Structure 1
Amino acid sequence: MGFFDGYDVAASGMSAQRTRINITSANIANAKTTHTEEGGPYKKQEVVFEDILLGKTNAKDNSASSLDKMSPKDQTEVALRGVGVKSIVESDAKPVMRFEPQHPDANEEGYVAYPDINPVIEMVNMIEAMRSYESNVAAFNTHKNIDTKTLDILKA
């Protein structure tokens, strides 16, 4: 394990959670968007995470599935993992139809298609992502404090 490995793990978690916060805030901001460039209402997005290998690998990718293909000797060299964003997927939920005949996006029957986004659920997701981000910051700071103490001991 290298000197900076703990920092790499915490930083990968912070980066992944920052992406999750950005996507969740976009969902909240577009909860009432009835018309997009693609046509139709905004589609809720979700972040899909994957664990990534942060050590040296001979594999062509850094996905966790490449760890299973390695020999046990190589696996011990690559025991360190982080988290990354695998993809951002759009929800396939059907839009919520509301009767608003005066709305400019109303169909022939007077119904408007709104995204199926519950702001309460999105706020819970936002709080969870913020807490996860804060946990990674705390891990980063703890690692920094340990390294500082270690250097102080070595100086003495």
Structure 2
Amino acid sequence: MGFFDGYDIAVSGMSAQRTRVNITSSNIANAKTTHTEDGGPYKRQSVAFQEIMLNQNKKTNETSFDNNKDSNQVNLRGVGVKSIIEDDSDPVMRFEPSHPDANEEGYVAYPNINPVIEMVNLLEARRSYEANVTAFSTHKNIDVKTIDIMKA
């Protein structure tokens, strides 16, 4: 394990959760959007995460310690965004005959977004982001203490 590997893992988690916060915020902001460029109501989106290999493309300097690595050693992993998924659920139909997007029967199609669920998702993403920040800070503090000990 390299000196910066802990940082890379925490940063991958922060990046993934930042995307989740942005998508969830977009869902909340568009909860009442009845007309999009595609012609229908806004469709709720969610984020699918995947495990990713970190530092695959980086060339590392091999040292005598690296040559003694066990062949069964697991590669460094992080988290990334696999895809943004659009919800295929039916829109919520509300009777509002005076609305400009009402159909012939007077119903307006609203996105199937529950603001309470979106707020819970937002809080969960924020807490996960904060946990990654804490891991990053803890790793930094350990490194600073290690350098201080080495100086003494």
TM-score, normalised to structure 1, is 0.87
Shift of the 110–16 alpha-carbon distance from structure 1 to 2, 3 Å rule, reads same
1:104 to 78, 100, 107: 100
Counterparts of 1:139 and 1:150 in 2: how far apart (Å)?
16
Q: How many residues align?
A: 140
| CA deviation map 1:47-99 (0-9, x unaligned) | 00001111447xxxxxxxxxxxxxx82x5151x21000000010001000000
For residue 40 of structure 1, give the secondary structure of its aligned residue in structure 2: coil
Read off the aligned partner of 2:48 and give its amino acid letter. Answer: V
* Structure 2 stretches lacking a partner, 5+ long: 58-69
Counterparts of 2:11 and 2:46 in 1: how far apart (Å)?
21
Query: What residue number does 1:62 align with?
Result: none
For the pair 1:41 / 2:37, whether they are aligned, the reply is no
Query: What residue number does 2:26 align with?
Result: 26
2:77 to 81, 97, 100: 81
* Structure 1 stretches lacking a partner, 5+ long: 58-71
For the pair 1:129 / 2:125, whether they are aligned, the reply is yes
Alignment of 1:44-83 (within 5 A): 44-56=44-56, 73=71, 76=73, 78=75, 80-83=76-79
Write out the 4+ residue segments of structure 1 that deviate beyond 4 Å after TM superposition: none
- CA contact under 8 A between 1:50 and 1:85: conserved in structure 2? yes
Counterparts of 1:91 and 1:77 in 2: how far apart (Å)?
35
Counterparts of 2:50 and 2:131 in 1: how far apart (Å)?
18
For residue 73 of structure 2, give the secondary structure of its aligned residue in structure 1: helix
Read off the aligned partner of 1:53 and give its amino acid letter. Answer: M
Shift of the 56–40 alpha-carbon distance from structure 1 to 2, 3 Å rule, reads closer
| CA deviation map 1:108-154 (0-9, x unaligned) | 00000000000000000000000000000000000000000000000
Work out which of the two has the higher radius of gyration on C-alpha atoms and give 1 or 2.
Answer: 2
